[in-house]
């Protein structure tokens, strides 16, 4: 991520609280990251794409663990920044995944994410006057997905949700609240099905 001293960084630093998404500095960073992501999506060689992704995301662990980590994403993949996504090793994300990483998104090792999964950290005021269309404030809430999870295709994970280790989320679910480790949840909103 490059920075520019000519632009005001205040809104970028406020992203975890409340900020304005149209701020020129934030837009500049998002545009720069979009160029890098386009190159990653266009890379046909799986090993090369994996290496690019490990530089684009934050990989947990030391340099040796980072090199050993396997990161497989079937393009197209979309996110806003990339550097707000923290991953463990051996991550698989299927085609069409969208991660709105205004706030941090942590994904544990050996997690599998199905096609067309949507992970959203941004939030907006509920009052339409305060929301004020494109010019209003936004905020974000971090999302945590544990190790050894399986997130079924078409799942939507909402801001502030923590999903424990070893969780299976049924396809098409909308996860609106925290999920305990080693459970299966499904539905809209996602509900407990069983422990595993």
Give the tens place of pLDDT for each residue, 90-113: 999 999 999 999 999 999 999 999
| pLDDT tens-digit series, residues 35-88 | 999 999 999 999 999 899 988 999 988 888 888 888 999 999 999 999 999 999
Q: What are the Cα distances from residue 160, in Å, to 57, 99, 163?
A: 20, 13, 10
- The confidence score (pLDDT) of residue 3 equals 46
Give the largest CA-CA distance in the chain: 54
Contact 25, 9 (CB under 8 A): yes
- The confidence score (pLDDT) of residue 4 equals 47
Which residue is catalytic, options 124, 131, 147, 182? Answer: 124
List of domains in the chain: 10-195 (2.160.10.10)
> Hey, CA dihedral for 92, 79, 62, 149, is it positive or negative?
negative
Look at residue 31 and tell me whether its pLDDT is greater than 60: yes
User: How much is the average pLDDT of 153-174?
Assistant: 98
**Category of 98 on φ-ψ map: left (φ > 0), alpha (ψ -120 to 50) or beta:** beta
Look at residue 21 and tell me whether its pLDDT is greater than 60: yes
Q: What are the Cα distances from residue 26, in Å, to 2, 21, 38, 45, 79?
A: 12, 7, 18, 31, 14
Look at residue 142 and tell me whether its pLDDT is greater than 90: yes
| pLDDT tens-digit series, residues 164-184 | 999 999 999 999 999 999 999
Is 20 one of the catalytic residues? no
Secondary structure of residue 129 in the 3-state scheme: helix
What pTM value is reported for the model? Answer: 0.88
């Amino acid at each position: 991520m490059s920075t520019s001293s000519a632009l005001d960084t205040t809104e970028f630093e406020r992203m975890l609280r409340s900020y304005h998404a149209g701020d020129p500095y934030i837009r500049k960073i998002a545009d720069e990251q979009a160029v890098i992501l386009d190159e990653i999506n266009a890379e046909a060689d799986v090993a090369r794409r994996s290496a690019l992704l490990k530089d684009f995301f934050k990989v947990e662990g030391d340099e040796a663990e980072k090199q050993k980590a396997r990161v497989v994403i079937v393009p197209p993949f979309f996110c806003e920044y990339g550097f707000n996504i923290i991953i463990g090793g051996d991550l698989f994300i299927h085609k069409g995944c969208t991660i709105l990483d205004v706030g941090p998104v942590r994904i544990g090792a050996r997690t599998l994410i199905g096609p067309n999964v949507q992970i959203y950290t941004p939030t907006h005021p509920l009052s339409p006057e305060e929301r004020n269309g494109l010019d209003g404030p936004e905020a974000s809430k971090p999302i945590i997905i544990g190790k050894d999870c399986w997130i079924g295709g078409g799942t939507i994970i909402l801001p502030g949700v923590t999903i424990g280790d070893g969780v299976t989320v049924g396809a098409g679910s909308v996860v609106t609240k925290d999920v305990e480790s080693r459970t299966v949840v499904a539905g809209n909103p996602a509900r407990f099905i069983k422990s595993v």
